[in-house]
């Protein structure tokens, strides 16, 4: 049995895509760009941290194919989709305050997640969140939607590297006085798979979030579950 379970937030424990979609379309509209994207497209843009997320939203608006979004900003230059660093900064400037003001309008826990967390806590297992979401949003959402269900929650802030760097996970383990062999990481994306690997933790992937089962398999996922009910037996060993 694991002593701690560390969860990603967006797409893993919280269905945030409605509010993320609304904020993305609002910000695109403010820049005079196409702003009628559906959640199925927008969800492919999120999970890598706000700057990278905004780059992908702009690439999507510029015509980027779904399968190429993960490479925007690395092997695919911004110029291919006709935007610049300035555009990313401007989009972020509209997105961040709008999302902060509307982050709970359509966001809710995935069915079965609160019950899973309660079951883990009742068995003495420590629970935590490690998210590339802004730390202020992480704290507000964790406290409001999961009261007393997490021992620790960490979001993106300037004093810690974002995932897939291991910093958030290792800080949580330090706070818990545990080592990587005592914990497991749960997430819905390629970033989560890399985070777990970089932290020395096993990873359980979920396919109800922002990436498909086929995408996760292609990126090396070994264990994938389709409902929170499948997690408890795996976590209890």
- What is the structure's pLDDT at 236? 87
pLDDT digits (tens, 9 = 90+) for 100-136: 999 999 999 999 999 999 999 999 999 999 999 999 9
Reply yes or no on whether the pLDDT at 214 is more than 90: yes
Is the fold of 4-15+107-236 the same as that of 17-102? no
Per DSSP, helices labelled H in 5-70 are 17-30, 39-42, 50-61
Distance in angstroms (rounded) separating the CA atoms of residues 122 and 51: 38
pLDDT, tens digit (0-9, with 9 covering 90-100), for 140-171:
999 999 999 999 999 999 889 999 999 999 99
Predicted local confidence at residue 148, as pLDDT? 96
User: What homologous superfamily does CATH list for 4-15+107-236?
Assistant: HAD superfamily/HAD-like (3.40.50.1000)
Residue 198's pLDDT band, with cuts at 50, 70 and 90, is very high
pLDDT of residue 5: 98
For residue 13, give every residue at least 6 positions away whose Cβ sits within 8 Å of its Cβ, in sequence order, or none. Answer: 7, 109, 110, 113, 117, 129, 146
Backbone angles phi, psi at 222, to 5 degrees: -100, -35
Any residues with CB less than 8 A from the CB of 174 and at least 6 apart, and which? none
pLDDT at residue 156, rounded to an integer: 93
Burial label for 90, CB within 10 Å (0-12, 13-18, 19+), is middle
Confidence (pTM): 0.95
Give the pLDDT confidence of 31-60 residue by residue, as tens digits: 999 999 999 999 999 999 999 999 999 999
How far apart CA 173 and CA 160 sit, in angstroms, is 15
**What CA–CA distance (Å, rounded) separates 59 from 5?**
34
Residue 237, pLDDT above cutoff 80: no
pLDDT digits (tens, 9 = 90+) for 85-101: 999 999 999 999 999 99
Split at pLDDT 50, 70, 90, the class of 73 is confident
Task: With cut-offs at 50, 70 and 90, classify the pLDDT of residue 26.
Answer: very high
| Region for 24 from its dihedrals, namely left if φ exceeds 0, alpha if ψ lies in -120 to 50, beta otherwise | alpha
Name 206's bridge partners.
225
Structure tokens at 74: 């690395």
Can you give the residue ranges of every domain in the chain? 4-15+107-236, 17-102
Q: How far apart are CA 63 and CA 67, in angstroms?
A: 12
- Look up the CATH superfamily of 17-102: Putative phosphatase; domain 2 (1.10.150.240)
């Amino acid at each position: 049995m694991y002593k701690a379970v560390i969860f990603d937030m967006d797409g893993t424990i919280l269905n945030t895509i409605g509010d993320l979609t609304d904020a993305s379309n609002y910000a695109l509209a403010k820049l005079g760009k196409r702003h009628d994207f559906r959640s199925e497209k927008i969800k492919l843009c999120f999970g890598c941290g706000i700057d990278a997320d905004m780059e992908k939203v702009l690439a999507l608006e510029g015509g980027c194919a779904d399968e190429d979004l993960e490479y925007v900003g690395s092997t695919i230059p911004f110029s291919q989709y006709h935007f610049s660093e300035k555009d990313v900064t401007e989009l972020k400037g509209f997105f961040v305050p709008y999302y902060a003001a509307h982050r709970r309008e359509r966001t809710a826990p995935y069915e079965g997640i609160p019950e899973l967390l309660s079951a883990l806590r009742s068995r003495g297992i420590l629970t935590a969140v490690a998210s590339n979401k802004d730390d202020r949003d992480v704290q507000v959402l964790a406290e409001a939607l999961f009261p007393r269900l997490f021992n620790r929650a960490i979001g993106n802030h300037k004093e810690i590297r974002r995932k897939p760097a291991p910093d958030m996970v290792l800080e949580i383990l330090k706070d818990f006085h545990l080592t990587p062999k005592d914990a497991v990481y749960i997430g819905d994306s390629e970033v989560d798979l890399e985070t777990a690997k970089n932290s020395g933790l096993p990873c359980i992937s979920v396919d109800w979030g922002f990436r498909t089962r086929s995408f996760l398999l292609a990126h090396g996922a070994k264990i994938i579950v389709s409902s929170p009910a499948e997690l408890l037996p795996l976590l209890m060993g």
